[in-house]
Protein backbone atom coordinates (compact mmCIF):
# COMPACT_ATOMS: atom_id res chain seq x y z
CA UNK A 1 0.00 0.00 0.00
CA UNK A 2 2.83 2.36 0.82
CA UNK A 3 4.47 1.87 -2.59
CA UNK A 4 1.18 2.52 -4.38
CA UNK A 5 0.57 5.65 -2.33
CA UNK A 6 4.05 7.01 -3.01
CA UNK A 7 3.70 6.28 -6.73
CA UNK A 8 0.36 8.09 -6.82
CA UNK A 9 1.73 11.14 -5.00
CA UNK A 10 4.70 11.33 -7.37
CA UNK A 11 2.59 10.88 -10.50
CA UNK A 12 0.35 13.88 -9.83
CA UNK A 13 3.03 16.59 -9.97
CA UNK A 14 5.01 14.58 -12.50
CA UNK A 15 2.14 14.80 -14.99
CA UNK A 16 2.30 18.60 -14.72
CA UNK A 17 6.08 18.60 -15.22
CA UNK A 18 5.89 16.38 -18.30
CA UNK A 19 3.01 18.39 -19.73
CA UNK A 20 4.88 21.67 -19.27
CA UNK A 21 8.03 20.22 -20.82
CA UNK A 22 6.01 19.13 -23.85
CA UNK A 23 4.50 22.60 -24.15
CA UNK A 24 7.96 24.12 -23.85
CA UNK A 25 9.28 21.89 -26.62
CA UNK A 26 6.34 22.81 -28.86
CA UNK A 27 7.02 26.48 -28.18
CA UNK A 28 10.66 25.93 -29.08
CA UNK A 29 9.54 24.52 -32.43
CA UNK A 30 7.38 27.59 -33.07
CA UNK A 31 10.17 30.00 -32.09
CA UNK A 32 12.71 28.16 -34.22
CA UNK A 33 10.41 28.32 -37.25
CA UNK A 34 9.91 32.06 -36.84
CA UNK A 35 13.40 33.16 -35.85
CA UNK A 36 15.75 30.41 -36.94
CA UNK A 37 17.51 27.64 -35.08
CA UNK A 38 20.53 29.32 -33.47
CA UNK A 39 22.95 27.38 -31.26
CA UNK A 40 21.44 28.65 -27.98
CA UNK A 41 18.02 27.46 -29.16
CA UNK A 42 19.39 24.00 -29.95
CA UNK A 43 21.07 23.84 -26.54
CA UNK A 44 17.84 24.83 -24.79
CA UNK A 45 15.93 22.22 -26.81
CA UNK A 46 18.49 19.58 -25.81
CA UNK A 47 18.10 20.59 -22.15
CA UNK A 48 14.31 20.38 -22.35
CA UNK A 49 14.47 16.99 -24.07
CA UNK A 50 16.87 15.74 -21.39
CA UNK A 51 14.50 16.91 -18.66
CA UNK A 52 11.56 15.23 -20.43
CA UNK A 53 13.51 11.97 -20.75
CA UNK A 54 14.39 12.09 -17.04
CA UNK A 55 10.75 12.77 -16.14
CA UNK A 56 9.66 9.82 -18.28
CA UNK A 57 12.17 7.68 -16.38
CA UNK A 58 10.57 8.77 -13.10
CA UNK A 59 7.17 7.91 -14.57
CA UNK A 60 8.42 4.41 -15.36
CA UNK A 61 9.73 4.01 -11.82
CA UNK A 62 6.34 4.97 -10.41
CA UNK A 63 4.67 2.44 -12.71
CA UNK A 64 7.07 -0.19 -11.42
CA UNK A 65 6.16 0.78 -7.85
CA UNK A 66 2.48 0.34 -8.63
CA UNK A 67 3.15 -3.06 -10.17
CA UNK A 68 5.21 -4.02 -7.13
CA UNK A 69 2.41 -2.94 -4.82
CA UNK A 70 0.00 -5.24 -6.63
CA UNK A 71 2.25 -8.29 -6.39
CA UNK A 72 0.61 -9.31 -3.12
CA UNK A 73 -2.81 -9.21 -4.79
CA UNK A 74 -1.54 -11.45 -7.59
CA UNK A 75 -0.41 -14.08 -5.09
CA UNK A 76 -3.92 -14.47 -3.75
CA UNK A 77 -5.75 -14.41 -7.08
CA UNK A 78 -6.63 -17.65 -8.84
CA UNK A 79 -6.26 -17.71 -12.60
CA UNK A 80 -8.14 -20.00 -14.97
CA UNK A 81 -5.26 -20.86 -17.32
CA UNK A 82 -7.52 -22.51 -19.89
CA UNK A 83 -9.64 -19.36 -20.19
CA UNK A 84 -6.55 -17.19 -20.56
CA UNK A 85 -5.16 -19.43 -23.29
CA UNK A 86 -8.45 -19.46 -25.16
The mean of the pLDDT values for the chain is 87
pLDDT confidence bin for 85, thresholds 50/70/90:
confident
The Cβ of residue 7 has, within 10 Å, a number of other Cβ atoms equal to 20
Domain that holds residue 72: 2-85
pLDDT confidence bin for 73, thresholds 50/70/90:
low
- Given this model, what pLDDT does residue 25 score? 94
- pTM score, whole prediction: 0.69
Distance between CA atoms of residues 1 and 10, nearest Å: 14
Total number of domains in the chain: 1
- Given this model, what pLDDT does residue 3 score? 80
Q: How many CA atoms lie within 13 A of 80 on its CB side?
A: 3
- Mean predicted confidence (pLDDT) in 9-37: 92
Amino acid sequence: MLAAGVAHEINNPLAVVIGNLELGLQSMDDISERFGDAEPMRELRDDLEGARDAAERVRQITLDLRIFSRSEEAKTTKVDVRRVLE
